[in-house]
Structure 1
Amino acid sequence: MDRRSIIKNAGIAGVLAAGAAPAVHAQAALRWRLASSFPKSLDTIFGAADTFAKKVTEMSGGKFTITTHAAGELMPAFGVVDGVQNGTVEVAHTAPYYFHGKDEVFALGCAIPFGLNSRQMTAWMYEGNGLKLMREFYGKYNIVNFPGGNTGAQMGGWYRKEIKSVKDIKGLKFRVGGFAGRVIERMGGVPQNIPGGEIYQALEKGTIDAAEWVGPYDDQKLGFNKVAPFYYYPGWWEGGPQLDFFINDKAYASLSAENKVIVECAAAFAHTEMQAKYDAKNPNALKQLVGAKVKVLPFPKDVMDLAFKESMALYAEVGAKNENWRKVYADYSAFRKDQNLWFRFTEARFDSFMQAQKL
């Protein structure tokens, strides 16, 4: 008998009785865990993980869920790469440069002093060779990465004492994230790598002399202005720091084609939303900090000049020893050169004119 005829005349009960129905396989619900390097109090940077998880749930119709866990809940803030590499968790959300001690190339996936700005970083990742090169590198750690947010150019941090020249960097105990610590050390400072949730206490007690985090919105939430009155700019070590979602390669490979696309799209949404939040929230927070008598100051020129000189020297030294760095940085630096040429004629000129109008 014709199969369509059976279905039309016998109905579902008849089809089942005739054994003519195709096998139906219910898709099992999928649940992952995400470990963040950030505290939940920061709705911008931790919020990107929540956004990612929410979009995965929505796009999968609730069949694929991800629970998000703040730093310290499942593992320490700086333990998330090991957690993903070992398969303890399926996903981490972090700033890759925290792990430059494993290999300096981690910093290139996030931010290096005098590196790409946020738009340039996104362009390198999606339209340049960035994503390809970084995935080749992260594969050594069982990781598949997706861009997971950017703060935009950051502030230069909070200081208990005024920075009048490079002499004031000497001996300065400075909490600074990522690769920048290597440059600060070359300038005579003493870098400290402290998770975001622990910075205030260290600054308050004088364990450190200065600290940087992100910018006005987050910094105000963390209360740094209460314990350090001088707020410097710019964060020359973080012109466009990119966060990443690190996914265990076996967990990712086990996903259906549909779920892989869902992960990609959810990450891209979170990536865009994070900087939108920072750009929208930072101006008012800065006004409030100025109103609270915070002294907002530019770094002296000799500090900027020495920082640039030492950064370039450091990259040459790392490249002489680290083949991974040499390969990725060659592409990164060539892309940066072209981007800065283009931005000089467009973005920079337009921005400087508009800012002078004080609209």
Structure 2
Amino acid sequence: MDRRSVIKNAGLAGVLAAGVAPAVHAQAAVRWRLASSFPRSLDTIFGSAEVLSKTVKALSGGKFEISVHPAGELMPAFGVVDALQGDNIEMAQSAAYYFTGKDPVFAFSCAVPFGLTARQNTSWKEYGGGRKLLDDFFAKYNFRTASAGNTGTQMGGWYRKEIKTVDDLKGLKMRMGGGVFGEAMQKLGVVPQNMPAGDVYQALEKGTLDASEFVGPHDDAKLGFNKVAPFYYYPGWWEGGADLEFFINVKKFNALSDENKAILNAAMAVAATDMTAKYDAYNPIALKKLVAEKTQLKPFPKAVMDAGFKASMEVFAEHEAKSADFKKIHQSMRAFQRDQVLWNRFSEFPYNQYVNGVKL
């Protein structure tokens, strides 16, 4: 008797007794939900989740599907970690430093002041031990991580007034991603505000915010920040290479077949590469358009950068004194960064320095 006859004539109990359940189970559809911390309008960041979903469906022949939901649809933007911890969703897409209120260690999974560039971030996580250190820490929150794409070095944000000295930062109400950056800025007199990207435009327009950083020209133009804050500063020294991530519920991941685990891992890698490539392609185009529309593009004064560095190092030292996890992960990242800086002196830095000085 063939397998189909067994199933047709024996019913479920007979199927189980006949020992064909594993084959039936292998055909069972897997349906996951992903909650993002970002609005659908961001074709770069939220688009990474959409690329993930399409790739998983294509690789599995439709047997594994992930529905993606923008911030506010299933839960608030900053509710995703609690939802993962409570087994309420299978995946999330977010920036880990949004959750430093739970523990400052979260920041290392995204970006910290004067930290790693995009390529260095990937290299540290995958070949410098960073991913294992971070996922060991995140296990207590019931998730593991994978890159959803890196923004590259970000801009320093939008300001309603010009920043000429460190004193111009005092009392400034500024939206920022969170983490140790916020603590460093507080030392400089800034009043940090952590809010979803979709709420920033109205706050700047009303004057309840004086400044905001988000990502870079492509995303910032979509959010309309240039219409309500004329000064655009660079570089974003607090985000040398911000890694957006997929957070995967550990229990749900472990329950996947080996085939579906491989499909998910491959699809996340495709989505991450796609996001980073989009930023590199789209940001120069958007920046030229913003400048043409009278955005005042300005570098941070060196004194402001120096003050930011000093304040950041003080914050790192304070957290190291209080947290063994923080110290272990921070020291791992800095040791890796020192080697990267050394190599960069003989590779990309002199190359880029020359290319930036000639007419192409």
Tell me the TM-score range normalised by the shorter chain.
over 0.9
Give the deviation of 1:152 after TM superposition: 0.4
Write the distance in 1 (CA, Å) between the matches of 2:19 and 2:79: 47
Aligned mates of 1:33, 1:297 — CA distance in 2: 42
Q: CA deviation at 1:342?
A: 0.7
Query: In the superposition, relative to structure 1, how do residues 358 and 175 fare at CA in structure 2: closer, same or farther (>3 Å)?
Result: farther
SS at match of 2:75: coil
Distance 1:22 1:160 in 2: 70
SS at match of 1:147: strand
Name the aligned partner's letter for residue 53 of structure 2: A
Q: How does 1:233-252 map to 2 (within 5 A)?
A: 233-252=234-253
> For residues 6-21 of structure 1, what are the structure 2 equivalents within 5 Å?
none
Work out the CA distance in 2 between the residues paired with 1:88 and 1:356. 53
CA distance in 2, matches of 1:217, 1:358: 25
Tell me which residue corresponds to 2:24. Answer: 25
Hey, what does 2:89 align to over in structure 1?
89
Matched residue, 1:138: 138
Q: Distance in 2 between matches of 1:229 and 1:266?
A: 39
Aligned to 2:256: 255
Q: For structure 1, which runs of at least 5 residues remain unmatched after alignment?
A: 1-5
Cα drift, residue 327 of structure 1: 1.2
Q: How far off is 1:326 after superposition?
A: 1.0
> Cα distance, 1:358 vs. partner?
3.6
Matches within 5 A, 1:153-302: 153-179=153-179, 180-302=181-303
Q: For the aligned residues, what is the CA RMSD?
A: 1.9
Q: Distance in 1 between the 2:308 and 2:106 partners?
A: 20
- 1:313, CA displacement in angstroms? 1.0
CA distance in 2, matches of 1:146, 1:289: 33
1:160-214 CA-partner distances (Å, limit 9, x unpaired): 0000010101111111112211111011111110101101010110001000111
Q: What is the alpha-carbon distance in structure 2 between the residues aligned to residue 54 and residue 186 of structure 1? A: 44
Give 3-state SS (helix, strand or coil) of 1:174's partner.
Answer: strand
Structure 2 spans left out of the alignment, 5+ residues: 10-17
Identity of aligned residues (%): 57
What do the CA deviations read for 1:11-59 (whole angstroms, capped 9, x no partner)? Answer: x98xx99xxx983525210100000000000000100111111111111
Could you tell me which residue of structure 2 aligns to residue 74 of structure 1? 74
Q: CA deviation at 1:226?
A: 0.5
Which residue does the alignment assign to 1:350? 351
- After superposition, residues 317-336 of structure 1 pair within 5 angstroms as 317-336=318-337
Greater Rg, structure 1 or structure 2? 1
Tell me how far apart the structure 1 counterparts of residues 359 and 311 of structure 2 sit (CA, whole Å): 35
CA deviation map 1:139-163 (0-9, x unaligned)? 0111111111110000000000000
The 2-side partners of 1:191 and 1:22 are apart by: 61
d(CA) in 2 for partners of 1:335 and 1:22? 52
For residue 330 of structure 1, report the CA deviation from its aligned partner: 1.3
Q: Spell out, residue by residue over 1:82-116, the C-alpha distance to the aligned partner (whole angstroms, 9 max, x if none).
A: 11111111100000000011111100010000000
**CA distance in 2: counterparts of 1:319 and 1:37, whole angstroms:** 29
Aligned-partner Cα distance in 2 for 1:250–1:76: 23
Find the aligned partners of 2:341 and 2:138 in 1 and give their Cα distance. 27
Distance in structure 2 (CA, Å) of the matches to 1:64 and 1:358:
50
Deviation, structure 1 residue 356: 1.4
Secondary structure of the corresponding residue to residue 146 of structure 1:
strand
Which portions of structure 1, spanning 4 or more consecutive aligned residues, are displaced by more than 6 angstroms?
A: none
Q: How many residues align?
A: 348
Take 1:357 and 1:73, find their aligned partners in 2: how far apart are those partners? 49
| Partner Cα distance (2:75, 2:350) in 1 | 45
For 2:134 and 2:231, the matched residues in 1 are separated by 37
The letter for the 1-side match of 2:191 is: V
How far apart, in 2, do the equivalents of 1:148 and 1:275 lie? 9
Give the Cα–Cα distance (whole angstroms) in 2 for the partners of residues 232 and 358 of structure 1: 25
- Distance, in Å, in 1 between the alignment partners of 2:301 and 2:50 is 39
* Cα distance in 2, alignment partners of residues 31 and 196 from structure 1: 29
Amino acid at match of 2:98: Y
Residues 312/300 of structure 1: CA separation in 2 closer, same or farther (3 Å cut): same
